[in-house]
Amino acid sequence: MLDIKYIREHAELIKENLKNRGVVLDLDNLLTLDRDRRAHMAQIEELRAQRNQVSRLRPATDGQAKGKPSEEEIIKMRQVGDQIATLEKELATIEIDYIKLLKAVPNLTHPEVPIGGEEDFKVLATEGKPPKFNFEPKDHEALLLDLGLIDFERGTKVAGNKFFFSKGDLVRLNQALIQYGIDIVTKHDYELMETPDLAKDEILEGIGFNPRGPETQIYSIDNNDLSLIGTAEITIGGYHANEILDLSKGPKKYVALSHCFRTEAGAYGRTSKGMYRVHQFVKLEMFVFCKPEESEIMHQEILTIEREIANGLGFPYRVIDVASRDLGGPAYRKFDMEAWMVMKGDSASPTGGYGEITSASNCTDFQARRLNIRYRKENGETEFVHTLNGTAINYSSRWPIAIIENFQQKDGSIKIPKVLQKYMGIKEILNPKH
């Protein structure tokens, strides 16, 4: 969240930022609650000081021993106590609305971020050209069904819609992708971790996810304060909660493997065919804790690593600067990588289109404030760290789609990128059923 003092001193800037991000929030009400909160806290503190002064034993006079408070003083103390109790009750009510509104204020926005909605992104780079097939290409769902490598029907029977069973060489491809991603990222000095698949709701809220309520994308556990995570950003972000970090030797960089679970509520109006938008997948996630002056450099490093992974695989992609209304609350700036996919074809582009495969976000100190993560400066003072996250690779979802659809052959087999062959022990997924 943002510092309330900063919001107070830059109210018009915050209002403009809310407008640019498409966030409807009564900032004037937040500022009124802030004033009332501070006034109540000051009154309570003053009354407590009065009570402490009155409640002390009276000093001895004329050689007599110290005495107890007089009846008048006792009555006054009771009145002060009643005032404090009333003010504390009012403060508790103010706090509820104040915290709710404060947490709803999104992060600031990088000055280079394009202003607008989902379609107003800026293309920063394009790598490779869409394939030109000399046959009618299929989407990944048709290809995998023909190869007998996926079973949506039984996945639905066992777990519901948008679950599936991976089989045979698709499982090997998934495992190869993860191992390839681990090898690439760890050579850049990211510490490898495997995280829990559950996190406390307070950690999800700190990262910026809504674990409960009708708008949530999270599966929550009944009668518990735990939820299934949608990304290892949640668990690694919470790894250093309420800690003071030593960043004197550089940023703390992690790459974490986890299962991910998302309800994808309200997502079915968009492209969701096959594996593109599913409820469960596995993801390798990069996460960085750094000093404020290092975060833009680290943002570029994460993007560079994502591009290195994709370049090794060889499918076409582009990098976009995500527009303001599509950033999400915690992100100051976000770069998405989008791979060319046959399944993304439409009337305007019948041979295919781009689909998101990674995001790289600079969240500045937005998450760190909510999770109370600081670092100690050379002068001994502490300051909130900056946090960044980015997708290294995922499977059971979009990275396999990019490979399967771009490298399909006329006979229905799929060429395997050379960098994955050593992990799989094969050069092609062969022998389609039809």
The pLDDT tens digits for 181-225 are: 999 999 999 999 999 999 999 999 999 988 776 667 899 999 899
> Does residue 265 surpass a pLDDT of 70?
no
What CATH topology corresponds to 4-104?
Answer: Helix Hairpins (1.10.287)
pLDDT at residue 258 above 70?
Answer: yes
CATH of domain 118-429: 3.30.930.10
Which of 72-76, 124-128, 172-176, 350-354 shows the lowest mean pLDDT across its residues?
72-76
Structural domain boundaries in the chain: 4-104, 118-429
Q: How does pLDDT run across 365-418, given as a tens digit for each residue?
A: 999 999 999 999 999 999 999 999 999 999 888 999 999 999 999 999 999 999
User: What residues contact 217, with CB distance under 8 A and at least 6 apart?
Assistant: 209, 210, 230, 262, 263, 264, 265
Out of 270-274, 312-316, 396-400, least confident range: 270-274
More confident residue, 395 or 93: 93
Tell me what pLDDT residue 61 has: 52
Predicted local distance difference test score (pLDDT) of residue 270? 43
Evaluate whether 279 touches 162 at the Cβ level (below 8 Å): yes
Residues 6+ apart with CB under 8 A from 108: 2, 17, 332, 364
The pLDDT of residue 360: 98
Q: Output 61-69 pairs: Cβ under 8 A, ≥24 positions apart.
A: none
Q: Which residue has the tokens 């060429």?
A: 415
Three-state DSSP class for residue 238 = helix
